């Protein structure tokens, strides 16, 4: 690696650790509350009931339950704190 010729750049590189970016530690965690667990349980129940109804031949209610479970309830359970 070629050394910078200007003094300001040299000082900046010394302070920053030789041009390397400092490692940032991500400490964000997913915290689930009781509301999240309730939404997840409702989504799981909707999915299970939807598959049961689908196996019995329902072509109207089953897809609605499956879409509600997969596309609404489970993502909401993840996003809601």
pLDDT in tens, the chain (81 residues): 555 566 666 666 666 555 555 565 556 676 788 999 999 999 999 999 999 999 999 999 999 999 999 999 999 999 987
Residue 18: the pLDDT is 53
Residue 63: the pLDDT is 96
Q: Is residue 11 part of a domain?
A: no
Q: Is residue 13 part of a domain?
A: no
Instruction: Give the torsion sign (CA, 42, 45, 47, 50).
Output: negative
Q: Is residue 16 part of a domain?
A: no
Residue 49: the pLDDT is 97
Q: CB-hemisphere CA count at 13 Å for 30? A: 7
How many domains would you assign to the chain?
1
Q: In Å, what is the CA distance from 25 to each residue of 15, 29, 36, 41?
A: 19, 12, 26, 32
Q: Is residue 56 part of a domain?
A: yes
Q: Is residue 37 part of a domain?
A: yes
Residue 68: the pLDDT is 97
Residue 74 domain boundaries: 25-79
Q: Is residue 10 part of a domain?
A: no
């Amino acid at each position: 690696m070629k050394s910078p010729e200007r003094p300001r750049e040299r000082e900046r590189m010394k302070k920053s650790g030789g041009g390397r970016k400092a490692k940032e530690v991500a400490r964000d965690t997913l915290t689930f509350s009781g509301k999240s667990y309730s939404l997840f349980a409702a989504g799981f129940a909707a999915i299970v009931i939807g598959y049961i109804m689908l196996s019995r031949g329902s072509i109207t209610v089953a897809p609605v339950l499956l879409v509600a479970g997969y596309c609404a309830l489970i993502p909401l359970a993840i996003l809601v704190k």
